[in-house]
Each structure stands twice: as C-alpha cells, then as structure tokens.
Structure 1
Amino acid sequence: MKSSITIKFRSLAVVISLACTTGLVQAQDNAQPVDTKQLSYISPQKPEDISPLLNGEKIPTGLLPDVSGKIFDLNKAVSEKPTVLIIYRGGWCPYCSKQLSGLRQAAPELEKLGYQLIAVSTDAPEGLMQSVTKEKISFTLLSDADLSFSKQFGLAYKAPMGYWEMLLKSTHGKDVDLLLPVPSVFILNKKGAIQFEYINPDFKQRLNPDLLKTVAASIIKEL
C-alpha cells in the first residue's frame, strides 16, 4: 500500500461456531467452561496489516486516565458534543509533537464550529503532562498506555524492536505486548459513530490541520 493512501478496509472476521448435541451437554456435568480470558489480541506485525473500525461504526468503550491520572469517560464526553478524536504514538515522537502543535492552532476554529478535541496516546499521564507543557495544549489528552483502547479500535501493531525499551519506560511498563498504534484522526457524532477517518500506516504522514478544518466544517451540520 502506498503511504499516502488511507486504510479503508478491514480483514474479514472469522466466526467459529461450536455445536454439540443436547444429550452430550446434559451428560457432561463436569465439563470445563471456556476461559474467555485466554483469548488475546493478535497483533499485526506491520502497520499496513491492521484492521481498523470503518466509517459508520461506533468507537469502543474508553475509560482512560487523563494528565492527572483521573479516569476520564470518553464515551460520555463524546455523547455531549461532536468530537475530533486523535490517536497518536506519544510525545516522544517528533511527528506527533508537530501534529499536536498543528492541532493546538486549529483547536479554536474547530471548537467554534462546535467540536471538542480529544487526543489519546501510549504515554503515561506524566508523559501527557510534558506534552501539555511543551506544546501548550488546552484540549484533553488521555493515556492508553496498555493499548487496550487502540486494540479495540484495530489500530495496534507490533512495534519494531528499536522501540521496545523506550515504550516500556514511557508507558511505565504497561505496554507489555510492545505495541504501537497507527496514528489516526476520527470525527465522531454524539452517538460515537465514525463520520470521517484518516488512518495512514506511514507514521510520518499526518492529516493537514487545514484539511481537517475543511472536512469538519463540511459535515458539522450532519452531526
């Protein structure tokens, strides 16, 4: 896939149905139940291989720490106002820092249109606070240090080995699977349904703030 192409596809889900006769079910009183905790996220090895949520689908549940470590109910916030949701790698990434700077400049116009901005990264709350201070961020930053949110979004993939040590430090050891999210931008309505998305496996390519403002202005009446 060329790096400039937004991912607009997802892998087909494989559904496995387990069937057994009523007689066998009744006879096996001591059968062990399926342990759903053993089912784990299988992370793609490359960012090109992710299977993200698509336009029209609803975002997953997000109860994430903010810069102070307080749990923030993302879904409740989204239900109150149209939202520009940004998922980025971390404040340690220069491309993410540049993106945050551009979003800071775009925020007043987006907020005037009626949007709120919320950005989620792998940084622990302390790292988020550093980004707030460095980039002078006024919108909400949230921590997805264990990437549970990014996994549900279908955005997480195995980080290259060169990132492993840094990720364990920046997430305070919570990124045990050593994953990274593909940087993404979503526009959500108050039902939490995706109305626009920009997902690029090339982490060096980010959505231009002016283009984001143009798209946001063009669809706000539909939200």
Structure 2
Amino acid sequence: MSSPKLEAGHPFPKIVVTGADGAQRDLSQPTGGHDWMMVVVYRGRHCPMCTRYLNELETYRAALGDIGVDVAAVSADSAEQLAEHMTQLSVEFPLYHGLSISQMQQLGLYVSDPRSPSETDHPFAEPGLFVINADGALHVVDLSNNPFVRPALKTLVSGLKWIRDPANNYPVRGTRSYVA
C-alpha cells in the first residue's frame, strides 16, 4: 500500500498525540507565543541515531525559538517506551508517543517493521521533519526511508532563519507539480 506524500504549501493535517504527562496535543499548532511549528518524527527508543539527533536538536531549540519556531517530537513508541527513552535524552522540547500507523500514512511517512522483537514491538515511522508556517501550511518537508538520512540541524536552522527574515521574501519551494 502506498502512502501519499504531503505537498509543500498545503495545510499540515491535524495530528493529535499524547505526551509523557498524558496530555494530548495537536502537533499542527505552535505554543509558547511561536507562530511556526517544527514537528520531528523519530523512529523510537530503539534507535541510537534518533537519540543523538534529538539531543542535538535541543542545542538549537533556543535559536529556533528566537525566530518563532516551536519544536516537538513524536514516535510510535508506547508511554513506557517514551519514559525509558527520556532517561537517555537531555531535551526540554516536548516529546509525544503513540503515533498510529494511520497518522504515519496521513503524514506520508515511510513505515518499517522491526527486524526482531529485541528491536521494538511495533511498526514505526522512519524519520520525518515538517516545518509549518504561520498560515498552517507546510514550508519544509523532509522524509527518509532509513535512519541515516536527516537534515543537518545547523544548516536547517540557518536556512529557517533566512526564510523567516521578511527582507528575503522567501516562498514555499517545491510546489509545482507535473502531470504526465
């Protein structure tokens, strides 16, 4: 079964997930006075590359906040798996769990089955990163089918700073589609 990809410039869907504290949140909505939202989808507790990426993302959280970008991360892990993973993380942005296969498909993510029960006990999303602008539209979309390809955070944050500068008047890119 194929999973349609979200289109740049189109609205980000309403994706409601649950936090470590049990509270629910619609990931499309920034908080804390921010007007843009960055949603990072990670594979889960079983992925050491995800742990490193999330910890590195924390070092850019303040810079993202300075340009009005809120940050949240989500995986298909259970509440228990998220709690265990949090012992390996040093992050202050919110983490969410329970991303369903239906939600993964809605986001156009690549989905994998575990290689063995020792890896994890459920299908999981491969990495995805979405930046939603103040109009609720996707401004940046990055999807990967494996853990080895993700946006370089230094470059991403620098690029978002440039995009957010009104003097640059930088539009959403990649919006032209071709019909064969």
Give the alignment of 1:178-193 within 5 angstroms. 179-193=123-137
SS of the equivalent of 1:134 reads coil
Quote how far apart the aligned CAs of 1:51 are: 3.5
Q: Deviations over 1:128-159 (max 9, x none)?
A: 23333322110011113433321211114342
Correspondence 1:75 to 2:34: no
Any stretches of 5+ residues in structure 2 without a counterpart?
Answer: 172-180
Measured after TM superposition, the shift of residue 57 of structure 1 is 1.9
- The corresponding residue for 1:136 is 90
Query: Distance in 2 between the 1:155 and 1:117 partners?
Result: 19
Q: Which has the higher helix share?
A: 1
Over the aligned positions, Cα root-mean-square deviation in angstroms equals 2.4
Q: CA deviation at 1:103?
A: 0.2
1:59 aligns with 2:3: no
Superimposed CA distance per residue, residues 189-216 of structure 1 (whole angstroms, 9 cap, x where no aligned partner): 1332110122222321221110111121
CA–CA separation in structure 1 for the residues paired with 2:38 and 2:153: 12
- What is aligned with 2:46? 92
Partner Cα separation in structure 1 for residue 76 and residue 90 of structure 2: 19
- Which range moved further: 73-82 or 206-215? 73-82
Provide the rounded CA distance (Å) in 2 between the counterparts of 1:145 and 1:157.
Answer: 11
**CA shift for structure 1 position 87:** 0.7
Change (3 A) 1:136 1:57: same
- Separation in structure 2 between the aligned mates of residue 83 and residue 75 of structure 1, nearest angstrom: 7
How many residues of Structure 1 are paired with residues of Structure 2 in the alignment? 166
Q: Distance in 1 between matches of 2:50 and 2:107?
A: 19
Measured in 2, the distance between the counterparts of 1:122 and 1:52 equals 19
**What's the TM-score, normalizing by structure 2?**
0.79
TM score, norm. by length of structure 1: 0.66
> Paired residue for 1:127?
81
CA contact (8 A) 1:64 1:72 kept: yes
Q: Is the partner of 2:120 in helix, strand or coil?
A: helix
Name the CA shift for 1:63/1:192 in 2 (closer, same or farther; >3 Å). same
Give the secondary-structure state (helix, strand or coil) at the position aligned to 2:81: helix
User: Would the aligned equivalents of 1:97 and 1:135 in 2 still touch at CA under 8 Å?
Assistant: yes
Gaps of 5+ in 1: 1-41, 45-49, 169-174
**Is the CA contact (8 Å cut-off) linking 1:131 and 1:137 kept in structure 2?**
no
Structure 2: distance between partners of 1:199 and 1:163: 24
Is the contact between residue 37 and residue 131 of structure 2 (CA under 8 Å) also seen in structure 1?
yes
